[in-house]
């Protein structure tokens, strides 16, 4: 009977019977997984099974490919600090819902650490910028990484202001001029961690960029749907 323990972020929940639920987790070393958890809706467990919370998960099943059951111990209730802030609470929901696009049981330890960091820092200023960068990491983890290091046409690293919608590679201002109406806009802060967006318009450009590849590559290739909460988050930021 396979059994393991791991740190995990709760990223989703579906009610099962009166008090139980099938919980989706993003684990540190076992990837995304689901498990049946008992007494989720009891008074004792009410604060434990909130999305975004960090827990210690013990999973077991008769066979590795089975759904399995899990016992959960709360480590950090990250949802609590943002409950009274609609924008940050939506961002938390979006981080969790978008993480559910990952395939099950594939180790994504770096992405887990990145996601946990975003959740932990939601109470602090700059969460919009961090979220945009996180979506580029999500694309990379899903196999659709953007190459923003140099111009796809001439190899230049200067004035990279566009992205090719076909290749996902950066294009310089000079090289992209003849096709600028067909290229996607590249905010500087997405390729340089030392740059912060000087206005909300840059955030919207970044979300339009990652949104394009989510809708036109991830959705069509993985046969999935982008969670509706992302549109709500874009609406808040816009």
Would the pLDDT of 111 be above 80? yes
Architecture of domain 3-83: Beta Barrel (2.40)
The secondary structure of 31-42 as a DSSP string is -EEEEEETTTTS
Sign of CA dihedral 79, 85, 86, 90: negative
Tens of pLDDT, residues 191-226: 998 998 988 899 999 999 999 999 999 999 999 999
Long-range contacts of 171-178, Cβ-Cβ distance < 8 Å, separation of 24 or more = 175/151
Query: pLDDT value at position 238?
Result: 65
User: CA end-to-end span of the chain, whole Å?
Assistant: 50
Q: Which helix (H) or strand (E) holds 87?
A: helix 86-99
Beta strand residue intervals within 157-203, DSSP E: 160-163, 170-172, 184-185
Closest of 41, 34, 36, 122 to residue 78, by C-alpha? 122
| pLDDT tens-place string over residues 120-175 | 999 999 999 999 999 999 999 999 999 999 999 999 999 999 999 999 999 999 99
Which of 14, 28, 20, 33 lies closest to 56, judged by CA? Answer: 28
Per-domain residue ranges of the chain = 3-83, 125-237
Q: Tell me the C-alpha distance between 157 and 149, whole Å.
A: 7
Sequence-ordered list of residues with C-beta below 8 angstroms from that of 95, at least 6 positions apart, any chain: 52, 115, 118, 119, 131, 134
Query: Which comes out higher in pLDDT, residue 2 or 148?
Result: 148
pLDDT of 61 reads 87
- Rounded Cα gap, residues 171 and 185, in angstroms: 10
Q: Mean pLDDT for the chain?
A: 95
By mean pLDDT, which of 4-13, 19-28, 56-65 is the weakest? 56-65
């Amino acid at each position: 009977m396979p059994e393991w323990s791991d740190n995990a972020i709760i990223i989703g929940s579906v009610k099962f019977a009166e008090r139980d639920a099938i919980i989706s987790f993003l684990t540190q070393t076992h990837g995304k997984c689901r498990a049946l958890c008992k007494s989720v809706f009891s008074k004792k467990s009410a604060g434990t099974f909130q999305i975004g919370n960090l827990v210690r998960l013990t999973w077991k099943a008769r066979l590795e490919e089975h759904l399995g059951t899990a016992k959960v111990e709360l480590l950090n209730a990250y949802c609590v600090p943002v409950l009274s802030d609609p924008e940050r609470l939506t961002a938390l929901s979006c981080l969790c819902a978008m993480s559910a696009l990952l395939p099950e049981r594939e180790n994504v330890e770096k992405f887990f650490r990145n996601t946990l960091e975003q959740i932990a820092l939601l109470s602090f200023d700059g969460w919009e910028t961090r979220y945009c960068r996180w979506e580029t990491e999500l694309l990379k983890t899903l196999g659709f990484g953007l190459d923003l290091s140099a111009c796809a046409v001439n190899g230049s690293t200067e004035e990279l202001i566009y992205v090719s919608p076909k290749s996902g590679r950066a294009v310089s201002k000079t090289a992209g001029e003849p096709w600028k109406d067909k290229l996607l806009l590249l905010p500087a802060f997405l390729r340089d961690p030392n740059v912060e967006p000087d206005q909300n318009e840059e955030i919207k450009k970044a979300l339009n960029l990652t949104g394009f590849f989510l809708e036109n590559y991830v959705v069509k290739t993985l046969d999935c749907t982008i969670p509706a909460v992302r549109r709500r988050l874009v609406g808040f930021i816009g």
